[in-house]
Amino acid sequence: MEPGFPLLTLTIWLPILGGLAVIASGDKASAVSKWTALVFAVLTFLVSLGLWLGFDANSAEMQFVERVPWIPSFDVHYFLGVDGISMPLIVLTTFVTIFVIVAGWEVITYKPSHYMAAFLIMEGVMVGVFSALDAILFYVFWEAMLIPMFLIIGVWGGPNRVYATIKFFLYTFFGSVFMLVALIYLYFQANSFSILDFHGVQLGMTAQTLIFIAFLLAFAVKVPMFPVHTWLPDAHVEAPTGGSVILAAIMLKIGGYGFLRFSLPITPDASASLDWLIITLSLVAVIYIGFVALVQQDMKKLIAYSSIAHMGFVTLGFFILFAILQRSGSTTGAVMGIEGGMVQMISHGFISGALFLCVGVLYDRVHSRQIADYGGVIHTMPWFGAFLVYFAMANAGLPGTSGFVGEFMVILAAFRADFWFALLAATTLVLAAAFTLWMVKRVVYGEVKNDKVAKLQDLNGRETFNLGALAAAVLLFGLWPAPLVNVMHTTVENLVVQVSACKLPAGEASDCVLPRSAAVAAAAR
């Protein structure tokens, strides 16, 4: 842990400072503030590429570690670091933010500088969430994320924005405060706020279960899992395009990240005994929400429900590992499940972001998100039509796109756990194909529906850039997912080893479902 260049600090604070600069530049010369915002977004992305390039994929240790005391008397540190799980998510964040800035270029007319600034600040805070290794620092970033998003939806959102944004805020706030109590409790068990120290703490079954539930409340709301998903369709529908993109592409991933960073390694025994709950909820999300998506009239709502279904896949991939371990004892299967979930998260970041941008493109021209208002768009917007069909295919998990890789890995892993899990999970392929392709059919193909569609202009340069870049990413990771999987492989293997060891204290050893590892048993003595 040699003191190196503080790359993570730079990735967090560069966009936040950029955001403040953009606010300061004001709206009088809006070109200046927009270009400032874009320059900061691109710079941040380039800086974050340094994380990827400098990352040692053969190590499961935290890298780029920075640790300075923040509140010394309270043992809170400004403690940052990334591993193979968080690093790809950080790069995803900085990548997607660029498109959000570009997408808002002309569309936002009310205080555009504040709009851009909100997204830049949001970006820094989200990178902070992924890189914080101190529980309090994590919580600060986690909650701070709510403020810009609350304002983005509320100020630049649709007609029902106030309801949606307050619902969004209160739902997430509700989930996370219990996590705070759990984190404070863990502090007294570990005598440290370091998340890495939390991983080594021995906890009795009751404590583990309560902590697991507290974490579950926080992360399940964020993911969102059935039945606490109802804020998401509202928030998505009312949010401006950029807000929807960030929500779907990154904020949902933070819930999934939380399961990997907190729930599984801190409370493995509770996770093992309650995995049926998560698996059931995930399958309900995949199937039931899939059907709900099928009947949506509003394009954004449809994609929002599709996100919930896809995120069900992610949580399924994360939590089938106990079933795999018990059945076959094979860690490869467990690793594949988690990696599949991770790949699915990254890929869904690209695809859902792109789909929301597509809806934004249409909405900016026609000011309607209703599927019924469109038809035959391909005749007037051939390029757009091609992109939309491509992303829809990716959303349905077409081989060759990144959407396929993650789903395939999770289904493969699910087979090792239980045939029925795999069968039920695989229905998502059918359902996703049904709801996305049906939407595409109604919007893109057929006769030109009305005058508005007849007058549509095809994509302008900015929109082509946005969709083109995302399409390239989807194709790249669809054809060649190896770099992504390699980066996280060692970390995930390490995680599985950690999760598959019983952490109950010696007195409760008989309750262990998981084998007691030598290290933990030694710690118990």
Partner 1 sequence: MPFDAAQLLPILPEIAILVTACLVLVVDLYLKERDKGINHGLTLIGLLVAMGLAGLVGGGERVLVLGDNVVRDTLGDVLKVFVLIVSFLAFVYGRPWLKDRGLLAGEFYVLGLFAVLGMLVMIAANSFLTLYLGLELLALSLYALVAFDRDSKAGSEAAMKYFVLGALGSGLLLYGISMIYGATGSIELGAVARAVSEHGIDNNILVFGIVFLVIGIGFKFGAVPFHMWVPDIYEGAPTPVVLFLGSAPKIAAFALGVRLLVDGMGGLHADWQGMLVILAVLSMAVGNLLAIAQTNIKRMLAYSTISHVGFLFLGLLAGSSQGYAAAMFYAIVYALTAAGAFGILTILSREGFDAEHLDDLKGLNDRDSWYAALMAILMFSMAGVPPTVGFMAKLLVLEAVVRVDLVWLAVVAVIFSIIGAFYYLRVVKLIYFDKPATDAPILASGGVRVAMTVNGLAVLLLGLFPATLLGLCQTAFG
- The residues binding partner 1 (CB under 8 A) are 69-74, 111, 114, 136, 139-144, 146-147, 150-151, 154-155, 161-162, 165-166, 169-170, 173-174, 177-178, 180-181, 184-185, 187-188
Scan for tokens 């094979």, then name that residue. Answer: 330
Tell me: cis bond preceding 224? Omega within 30 of 0 counts. Answer: yes
Of the pair 170, 454, the CB lying nearest partner 1 is at: 170
CB of 32 to partner 1, least distance (A): 18
Q: Are 435 and 341 in contact (CB under 8 A)?
A: no
CB of 73 to partner 1, least distance (A): 5
| CA dihedral sign of residues 392, 395, 396, 398 | positive
User: What angle do helix axes 161-190 and 231-238 make, rounded to 10 degrees?
Assistant: 130
Of the pair 184, 295, the CB lying nearest partner 1 is at: 184
d(CA 284, CA 226): 7
CB of 57 to partner 1, least distance (A): 33
In sequence order, what are the beta bridge partners of 194?
134
Of the pair 153, 321, the CB lying nearest partner 1 is at: 153
CB of 155 to partner 1, least distance (A): 5
Of the pair 49, 71, the CB lying nearest partner 1 is at: 71
Of the pair 145, 422, the CB lying nearest partner 1 is at: 145
Q: Are 281 and 242 in contact (CB under 8 A)?
A: no
Of the pair 173, 465, the CB lying nearest partner 1 is at: 173
Opening angle at CA 101, ends 49 and 18, nearest 5: 70
Of the pair 171, 384, the CB lying nearest partner 1 is at: 171
Please report, as a single letter, which amino acid is at residue 187: Y
d(CA 360, CA 117): 20
Of the pair 140, 412, the CB lying nearest partner 1 is at: 140
Task: Return the structure tokens found at 472.
Answer: 């390239």
Please report, as a single letter, which amino acid is at residue 392: A
CB of 165 to partner 1, least distance (A): 8
Q: Are 90 and 125 in contact (CB under 8 A)?
A: no
Q: Which of 213, 232, 214 is nearest to 223 (CA)?
A: 232
CB of 90 to partner 1, least distance (A): 19
Q: Which of 122, 97, 107 is nearest to 156 (CA)?
A: 107
DSSP symbols for 64-94: EEEEEEEEGGGTEEEEEEE-TTHHHHHHHHH
CB of 330 to partner 1, least distance (A): 39
CB of 118 to partner 1, least distance (A): 11
